[in-house]
């Protein structure tokens, strides 16, 4: 397993001092980077991550004071500990160094044991600071993530795999200068009693997801049904016990593991591999938090979808009951819902409205349950009295549907779907935009389907003749009956109307 060496930047204009520090620190397992002045030191820090800086003061080009000030003024580098190694001993020079942001001082000629002790101590402090900053970043990130998913959560369009992708983006390493994050994430989840596994990794700044062919549940000796656990392993733990078989299995898939944190359950497994630091229970807790949010959303979406399916079933059942004594088949109500959605989408109505009108529009004729079958099935022209009775199905429909806010669109449709743009419709003779948009859409959609279907007083018309009657008129139906914008949308989507009719006829 690889060990990540702490990087120490040694800055001095004396080559012999640099050489001495390099020998001393390298022998203790540190990776040493050298620079000859402050300007060069700043360039080195920008080129690669550095864990601590040993900085001389008296140097050409840029001295240690100015270099330290420049580092500490940059938020990206201000947490790198700086130890000033100097022959200057005055209190004023030390105060100047403190004001520049230095964490410590070592006097020249330096004691080797003191240098090693100071470096070790400050690296521990930096590690604690890095963990604290990373924890703060995670808290902010998790809070923001929670706010985003609440704002955009749509239970009827919930996509589990997309949500998994979002989880990965919260934790995975996007760039090489983010060693606190994992390099690879492997996820498996149970979908319809079948496990699917994916591997995630950033490649050329793009998050790539590919199918992972190995089912890791058995290798991990996972879990009784219904249990879950958080795990974390560092390099020293990876060759112990059951985890060794798991590591060897990943190696067979050409994945070398240096450490790992994760969450395992009978529903989902998330394994984050190769953090650029030791992992702790905190890292597993972060993953656990994200998983719990996602599983909650999936459960909530499933419950809402089940409720919505029941709602939709009830709507269609009521609509079919209303047409029991009419000539239309059950497919009429299905077609009309599709027509409505086509027009609403063309008019660029909100998705929520489109979904609602597709589901609720089949209730447009629900009031016909109050109309006697002899009138509904009469083969000839209705008498004036019968026609007035027929018109009442609009009022009855609105009354049956009621005032519940979930059915507000359906109630408007039932009441106004026979109103006409020129004011010649019924039951109230509304005109123009006094007619709700859902009523205006229904007027043309219902008319199209009525013309396509056979009646006792007329044959079924084909699409071409129906289109011509609606767009040009036939005396009984004229274009002025329709909202011009809705009529325009119909003309632009007429082929879709024909496709819906052919698909759902019968």
The answer to whether residue 8 scores a pLDDT higher than 70 is yes
Residues 408 and 263 in one domain: no
Order the strands of the 260-265 sheet from edge to edge: 206-211, 194-203, 182-191, 268-275, 260-265, 228-233
Residues 119 and 60 in one domain: yes
Instruction: Report the b/e string of 453-466 with b at 16+ CB within 10 A.
Output: beeeeeeebebeeb
Residue 79 lies in a domain: yes
- Among 270-279, 301-310, 359-368, the minimum mean pLDDT is found in 301-310
Q: Could you tell me the two tokens for 431? A: 């005109």
pLDDT in tens, 398-433: 999 988 888 899 999 999 999 999 999 999 999 999
| Alpha carbon distance, N-terminus to C-terminus of the chain | 68
Work out how many domains the chain is built from and give that number: 3
How many angstroms separate the CA atoms of 428 and 401, rounded?
18
How many angstroms separate the CA atoms of 396 and 365, rounded?
9
Residues 337 and 434 in one domain: yes
The answer to whether residue 281 scores a pLDDT higher than 70 is yes
Residues 497 and 428 in one domain: yes
Residue 309 lies in a domain: no
Residues 210 and 90 in one domain: no
Q: What is the pLDDT of residue 144?
A: 74
How many angstroms separate the CA atoms of 506 and 503, rounded?
9
Residues 91 and 56 in one domain: yes
Comparing 329 with 103, the larger pLDDT belongs to: 103
Q: What is the CA radius of gyration of the chain?
A: 37
Residue 208 lies in a domain: yes
Residue 295 lies in a domain: yes
Residue 145 lies in a domain: no
Q: How confident is the model at residue 176 (pLDDT cuts 50, 70, 90)?
A: low
How many angstroms separate the CA atoms of 258 and 462, rounded?
70
pLDDT in tens, 207-223: 999 998 888 876 565 44
- Among 165-169, 179-183, 259-263, 431-435, the minimum mean pLDDT is found in 179-183
Tell me how far CA of residue 335 lies from CA of 310, 439, 482, in angstroms: 20, 16, 19
Residues 275 and 338 in one domain: no
Q: What is the CATH number of the domain that holds 200?
A: 3.30.450
Q: Could you tell me the two tokens for 503? A: 């698909």
Residue 214 lies in a domain: yes
User: For residues 58 and 108, is the Cβ–Cβ distance under 8 A?
Assistant: no
Residue 314 lies in a domain: no
Q: What is the pLDDT of residue 1?
A: 38
Residues 41 and 124 in one domain: yes
Write the secondary structure of 200-233 as one string of H (helix), E (strand) and C (coil).
EEEECCEEEEEECCCCCCCCCCCCCCCCEEEEEE
Tell me how far CA of residue 273 lies from CA of 137, 235, 270, in angstroms: 19, 11, 10
Residues 176 and 283 in one domain: yes
Q: What is the CATH number of the domain that holds 42?
A: 3.40.50.2300
Residues 124 and 169 in one domain: no
Give, in degrees to the nearest 5, the angle at Cα 272 between 270 and 276: 170
The answer to whether residue 80 scores a pLDDT higher than 60 is yes
Residue 178 lies in a domain: yes
Domain range for 16 is 7-130
CA dihedral 75, 81, 85, 86 (to 10 degrees): 40
Which residue matches tokens 């009693």?
193
């Amino acid at each position: 397993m690889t060990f990540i060496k702490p990087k120490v930047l040694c800055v001095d204009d004396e080559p012999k001092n640099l050489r001495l520090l390099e020998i001393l620190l390298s022998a203790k397992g540190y990776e040493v980077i050298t620079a000859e002045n402050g300007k060069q030191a700043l360039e080195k820090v920008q080129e690669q991550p550095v864990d601590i800086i040993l900085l001389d003061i008296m140097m050409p080009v840029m001295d240690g004071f100015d270099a330290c000030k420049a580092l500490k003024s940059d938020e990206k580098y201000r947490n790198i500990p700086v130890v000033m190694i100097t022959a200057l001993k005055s209190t004023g020079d030390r105060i100047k160094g403190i004001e520049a942001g230095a964490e410590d001082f070592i006097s020249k000629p330096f004691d080797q044991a003191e240098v090693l002790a100071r470096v070790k101590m400050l690296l521990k402090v930096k590690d604690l600071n890095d963990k604290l900053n990373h924890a703060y970043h995670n808290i902010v990130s998790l809070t923001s993530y929670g706010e985003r998913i609440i704002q955009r959560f749509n239970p009827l369009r919930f996509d589990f795999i997309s949500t998994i992708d979002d989880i990965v983006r919260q934790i995975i390493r996007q760039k090489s200068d983010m060693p606190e994050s994992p390099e690879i994430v492997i996820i498996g989840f149970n979908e319809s009693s079948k496990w699917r596994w994916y591997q995630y990794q950033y490649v050329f700044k793009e998050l790539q997801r590919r199918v992972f062919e190995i089912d890791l549940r058995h290798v991990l000796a996972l879990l009784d049904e219904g249990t879950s656990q958080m795990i974390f392993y560092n390099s020293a733990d990876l060759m112990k016990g059951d985890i060794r078989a798991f590591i060897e299995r990943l190696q067979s898939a050409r994945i070398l593991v240096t450490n790992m944190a994760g969450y395992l359950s009978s529903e989902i497994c998330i394994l984050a591999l190769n953090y650029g630091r030791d992992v702790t229970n905190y890292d597993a807790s972060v993953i656990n938090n994200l998983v719990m949010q996602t599983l909650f959303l999936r459960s909530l979406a499933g419950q809402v979808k089940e409720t919505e399916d029941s709602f939709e079933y009830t709507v269609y059942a009521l609509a079919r009951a209303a047409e029991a004594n009419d000539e239309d088949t059950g497919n009429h109500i299905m077609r009309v819902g599709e027509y409505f959605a086509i027009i609403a989408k063309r008019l660029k109505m909100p998705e929520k409205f489109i979904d609602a009108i597709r589901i609720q529009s089949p209730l447009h004729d629900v009031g016909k349950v109050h109309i006697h079958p002899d009138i509904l099935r009469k083969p000839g022209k209705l008498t004036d009295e019968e026609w007035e009775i027929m018109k009442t199905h609009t009022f009855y429909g609105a009354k049956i549907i009621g005032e519940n806010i979930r059915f507000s669109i359906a109630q408007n449709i039932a009441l106004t779907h026979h109103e006409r743009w020129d004011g010649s419709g019924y039951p109230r003779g509304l005109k123009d935009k006094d007619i709700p948009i859902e009523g205006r859409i229904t007027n043309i959609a219902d008319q199209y389907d009525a013309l396509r279907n056979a009646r006792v007083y007329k044959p079924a018309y084909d699409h071409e003749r129906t289109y011509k009657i609606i767009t040009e008129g036939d005396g009984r139906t004229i274009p002025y009956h329709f909202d011009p914008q809705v009529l325009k949308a119909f003309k632009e989507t007429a082929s879709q109307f024909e496709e819906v009719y052919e698909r759902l006829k019968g």
